[in-house]
Amino acid sequence: MIQETHPLERFTRKGMIPHIWCAGCGNGVILSELLRALVELKIDLNKVAVVSGIGCIGRISGYVNLDGFHTTHGRAIAFAVGLKAARPDIKVIVVSGDGDLFAIGGNHFIHAARRNIDMTVICSNNFNYGMTGGQAGPTTMPDNRTTTTPYGNIEHPFNLVHLAAGSGAVYVARWTTAHVRRIRESIKTALTKKGFTFVEIISPCPEQYGRRNRMGEPIDQFNWLREKSVVQHFSDPVKAEVGPNKVVVGEFVDIEKPEYTESLRRQMMTVQGTLEKEGRLTSAPL
């Protein structure tokens, strides 16, 4: 029997599809594997919220048929922190781009990771600001061309898995859109851990980054990711390079430590009990 509808159709908003992403962009892979991970984990979708920032991948919160927040530029994690603090029962997923998360929103990222706030952050890293004109961003590779680096980038890029690990994330992984099943498995692992988890997914940007750097057709960029990737599980994230000749992928961190919102609520209950005992509780319970 021929299936007439896509198996994930019920998880997307019909009025928002088809999407705006360019042919060859990896954001469609990220969307489908996130949805497949949620399906396979059998998570209650009424207890899931997807938060995104500005940029190509930022449209994802409007595409999924879940509670979502399409936030201002760089503030996806800030919104997510408030959501998680107010509703600790909600599974909070942040999906945004390298510029949104690590340039404008970099401070929010490092402090949410440091506090170990329970959320899963998925970064679509395409090495530039793809939606706003192809400008250089915090992950643009050295010597590569963008609209703001027409003679080649002279800045040092962030190593995102190193940054996430150093900031305190309890789970850190990197894959490319050529690693479809591994993306799904890492998202599943991230979603089932308590604490701040991070999955970087390197995604082609054929129309902006790829074209300016003469990387060929979308299939050529896909093959480049597949051929240059080297799996090095639990290697030192400091040495997990991303360059023209080698892209180190894998799982780098998988640890346990106290989660912020649980610790906050225990502290609030302790304070409430102390105030009640001393007869100083004059307002509503915390």
Beta strand pairing call for 171-176 and 247-254: antiparallel
pTM: 0.94
Q: Is the pLDDT of residue 173 over 70?
A: yes
ω into 138 cis (within 30 of 0):
no
Q: Are 79 and 51 in contact (CB under 8 A)?
A: yes
Higher-pLDDT residue of 273 and 94 is 94
Q: Is the pLDDT of residue 286 over 70?
A: no
pLDDT of residue 120: 98
Residue 96 to residue 281: CA distance in whole angstroms: 42
pLDDT of residue 236: 98
Question: In sequence order, what are the residues at sequence separation of 6 or more whose Cβ sits closer than 8 angstroms to the Cβ of residue 47?
Answer: 89, 90, 91
pLDDT of residue 210: 96
Instruction: Band the pLDDT of 279: cuts 50, 70, 90.
Output: confident
Instruction: Band the pLDDT of 260: cuts 50, 70, 90.
Output: very high
pLDDT of residue 272: 86
Residue 277 to residue 273: CA distance in whole angstroms: 6
Instruction: Band the pLDDT of 278: cuts 50, 70, 90.
Output: confident
Q: Is the pLDDT of residue 283 over 80?
A: no
Instruction: Calculate mean pLDDT across residues 161-169.
Output: 98
Q: Is the pLDDT of residue 37 over 70?
A: yes
pLDDT of residue 251: 98
Instruction: Calculate mean pLDDT across residues 6-17.
Output: 87
pLDDT tens track for 205-219: 999 999 999 999 999
pLDDT of residue 60: 96
Count the neighbouring beta carbons within 10 Å of the beta carbon of residue 132: 14
Q: Is the pLDDT of residue 253 over 70?
A: yes
pLDDT tens track for 190-239: 999 999 999 999 999 999 999 999 999 999 999 999 999 999 999 999 99
What is the gyration radius of the CA atoms in the chain, in angstroms? 20
Instruction: Band the pLDDT of 285: cuts 50, 70, 90.
Output: low
pLDDT tens track for 45-84: 999 999 999 999 999 999 999 999 999 999 999 999 999 9
The torsion angles phi and psi of 51, rounded to 5 degrees, stand at: -115, 135
Of 152, 131, 159, 156, residue with least CA distance to 213:
152
Instruction: Calculate mean pLDDT across residues 161-185.
Output: 98
User: What three-state secondary structure class fits 254?
Assistant: strand
Instruction: Calculate mean pLDDT across residues 18-37.
Output: 95
